[in-house]
Structure 1
Amino acid sequence: MAIRLKEKRILSFILVAVALLALFVFSINRGSMQVSYGELFRGLFFEENETVSIIFDLRFPRIIIAVLSGAALAVSGVLFQAVLKNPLADPGIIGISSGAGFISALIVAYAPIWFFFTPVFAFLGGMLACVLVYGLSYKNGFSPLRIILVGVAVNAVFTGLSSAFDSMSGQNYTDASELLNANISMKTWEDVRLLAGYVVIGLVLAMRIAGSCNLLALEDKTVRSLGVNVTVLRVMVSAVAVLLASITTAVAGAISFVGLIVPHMGRLLVGNEHKVLIPFSALLGAFIMLLADTTGRLIAYPYEIAPAVIMSVVGGPVFILLLKRSDKPYGG
């Protein structure tokens, strides 16, 4: 049985990695500018080609940001579901992304000189939303239903505050609105460098605490009997989850349901062991996010649909299905 599970895990990793690579290559050459793959290869590595240079500067950053965002959001979802013992937890649904997005939009609109510190402010906004959700939903323990309901309410408040930017004019307000709408079409290599540094740090930290996530699946008294401070452990895991979700929101915008769908798919394919689930979710999340972005570019060409919209259309029904099928106790 263990050998069969190991083989299933290896096969799942290989299939998702190959699918991601194939989608990456496919997505590169889809749009108003197209070249043969041979010409693309030569233009990237051997000879100067103006069309390839344009594709490299405009399309590559967008694709890489989609990949990094998907990986970060998926792992954030895994961590939140572990710390809350709630299979329906997602940084977008419970308000973490909207809190980070609102603070990021404030910086872009009113203090653009601090633009490069936006990820830091986004993290503070995400932590604020996290504290609100945890604080308002705690009542003699955490109830999965209360967490979701409070999270939806916190999400609605921050989303309502953020929607004000859509009705304002001026370049700074327009930039803030594009951030909130998760428009990644005009991202640059500078955005890639900004996002990549924080995401890599977050993913490394997530792998370091993977064993702690396994402990959180146990009863609190059992964990305490092992000499572990459960409260400190939850805060630590939550901080990493907020970091990943907030940094992604600061660069790519608020995107929901990636952190909900991917962990469920991951558990079906590789099981509940977080040392395996976390890297697999990062890989699968990158594929799902890039697929959403590529679909949004092609489905209504020459117009584009933001990946956040695609994920909402797909994720909404999935969320309802999971809610109906969940056998968790929703009392209190």
Structure 2
Amino acid sequence: MKNKTSSSIKVFVLLILLAICIVSFFISIGKGSLDISFQEVIKAIFIEDDTVNHRIIFNVRLPRTLVAGLVGICLGVSGAILQGVMRNPLAAPNIIGVSSGAGLMAYIILILFPKYYYLVPIGAFVGALFATLLIYLLAWKNGVNPMRLILAGVAVSSLLGAGISSLMTLFPDKVAGAVGFMVGGLSARTWPDFNILWPYALLGLVLTFLFPKKLNILMLGDEIATGLGLNVERTRLMFIAFAALLAASAVSVVGLLGFVGLIVPHTARLIIGSDYRYLFPATAILGATVVMLCDTIARLVFDPVEIPVGIVMSLLGAPFFLFLLRERKSMER
């Protein structure tokens, strides 16, 4: 009876988060250089089809908002996976090198093989997967210690970041918009970007949402998980591949958007607990909400000048990261 009550409360919390996400969606669509009221947004989407508002919403704001939401979902869930696999709240795609691996491969394709730009998501996934496997191998010593994974990830992230900087230095004429890519930006994202993103995101999310119980067991520790019949290393590698796919799909479209995978899963965990059956959907909903709202702020704060959404996320994420680090040190004393 108690478990049913707890589950009902968590479902209710998810519904509240979903309602907030829907409100954020309409705020993102309505706010900009031209403010469009909620009623006008509804008319433009469902009733009118040849007005100025309709063209602004369907050609500019709707695809950008959908990309923002989907990127938030991907990076948030990727961060939740990595924090679970590594049993460390400081793990995130941009911190441990997953995003850097995806970004380096995306840069290589866009700069050296621009004709094959449509392969960027696949290339980014290969780069992210290579980075995560390299981190895994570097951290291996009679098994994998979560703290060694974090330290190896930071080192690999720095190395891959140097590769990205080298490409920018060697090919300065081919890196137009590189600043936006480095910090993460949603400017001029349209339907083709959404169409590139959603198939890979959907695949990663479906695979992830199929196995929340396995990650719950993995969170108990390697010895207990093994005693319960779980193949620990295979499960850990499987989830790392899922995290790499989700992070890579987001990076291929918006660049190295940081701190979403750090802030969102941790906040969702505080709200709904550590059960991944509920944490995954909560993280997905909260991730979409955060990125959509941050993108809206990025558009409005210096209007008519737009700043990359990654700058807003960094302003939020850096203090949050320091807070987590401080709390972790306090717990270890």
Fold conserved between structures, TM > 0.5: yes
Name the residue aligned to 1:121: 123
Letter of the structure 2 residue corresponding to residue 54 of structure 1: I
Pick the aligned partner of 2:185 from 183, 186, 191.
183
| Structure 1 counterpart of 2:9 | 8
- What is the DSSP-based 3-state SS (H/G/I as helix, E as strand, rest coil) of the residue aligned with 1:174? coil
CA distance in 2, matches of 1:81, 1:328: 19
Corresponding residue of 2:203: 201
Q: What SS does structure 1 have at the residue aligned with 2:185?
A: coil
The unaligned stretches of length 5 or more in structure 2 are: none
Q: Which residue of 2 aligns with 1:268?
A: 270
Partners of 2:165 and 2:226 lie apart in 1 by 44
Q: Which amino acid aligns with 1:68?
A: L
Return the alpha-carbon distance in structure 2 between the equivalents of residues 95 and 239 of structure 1: 13
Structure-to-structure mapping, 1:158-237, within 5 angstroms:
158-167=160-169, 168-170=171-173, 172-175=174-177, 177-237=179-239
Shift of 1:53: 0.6
Q: CA shift at 1:214, angstroms?
A: 0.9
Instruction: Give CA-to-partner distance per residue, 1:152-199, whole Å, 9 cap, x none.
Output: 2221222222134555443x4215554333221111101111111111
Rounded Cα–Cα distance in structure 2 between residues aligned with 1:40 and 1:317: 35
Contact 1:95 1:130 in 2 (8 A): yes
Three-state SS of the structure 1 residue aligned to 2:96 is coil
Which is further off, 318-327 or 117-126?
318-327
Deviation at 1:15, TM superposition (A): 2.1
Query: Cα–Cα, structure 1 residues 175 and 301, in superposed 2: closer, same or farther, change >3 Å?
Result: closer
**Letter paired with 2:34:** M
1:311 and 1:244 map into 2 onto residues whose CA distance is 18
- CA RMSD in angstroms comes to 2.2
Q: Amino acid of the residue matched to residue 236 of structure 1?
A: M
**Could you say if the C-alpha distance between residues 212 and 166 of structure 1 is closer, same or farther in structure 2, counting changes exceeding 3 Å?**
same
| Matched residue, 1:258 | 260
2:19 — aligned with what? 18
Q: Please name the residue that 2:304 is paired with.
A: 302
8 Å CA contact 1:9–1:269 kept in 2: the answer is no
Q: Does 1:76 align with 2:78?
A: yes
Deviates more, 1:6-15 or 1:83-92: 6-15
CA distance in 1, matches of 2:300, 2:143: 46
Deviation at 1:79, TM superposition (A): 0.9
The one-letter amino acid paired with 1:308 is G
Find the aligned partners of 1:325 and 1:39 in 2 and give their Cα distance.
46
Percent of residue pairs identical: 36
1:142 CA drift (Å): 3.5
Change (3 A) 1:37 1:86: closer
Question: Is the 2:81–2:243 contact (alpha carbons within 8 Å) kept by the matching residues of 1?
Answer: yes
Match of 1:53 in 2: 55
Contact 1:61–1:189 at 8 Å: present in 2 too?
Answer: yes
Change (3 A) 1:15 1:194: same
The alpha-carbon deviation at position 39 of structure 1 amounts to 3.5
1:226-251 CA-to-partner distances (Å, cap 9, x unmatched) read: 33321111111110011001111011
Q: For residue 105 of structure 1, what is the amino acid of its counterpart? A: Y
Structure 1 unaligned regions, length at least 5? none
Distance 1:5 1:328 in 2: 30
Provide the C-alpha distance between the structure 2 equivalents of 1:87 and 1:199, rounded to a whole number of angstroms: 23
Distance 1:16 1:102, change over 3 A: same
CA offsets 1:270-316 (integer angstroms, 9 cap, x no match): 11111111111100111111121111112222222222111112111
Q: Is the 8 A contact 1:80 1:241 kept in 2?
A: yes
CA contact (8 A) 1:5 1:270 kept: no
CA contact (8 A) 2:71 2:288 kept: yes
Question: Partners in 2 of 1:262 and 1:113 — Cα distance?
Answer: 35
Code of the aligned partner of 2:6: L
When residues 328 and 101 of structure 1 are mapped into structure 2, their CA distance, relative to the original with a 3 A threshold, is farther
1:98·1:159 contact (CA, 8 Å) conserved in 2? yes
- The Cα of 1:2 is off from its aligned counterpart by 3.8
Report the alpha carbon displacement of residue 256 of structure 1 after superposing the two structures with TM.
1.8
Q: Which amino acid aligns with 2:12?
A: L
C-alpha contact (below 8 Å) 2:181/2:255 kept by paired residues: yes
Aligned to 2:30: 29
Between the two proteins, the alignment pairs up a number of residues equal to 329
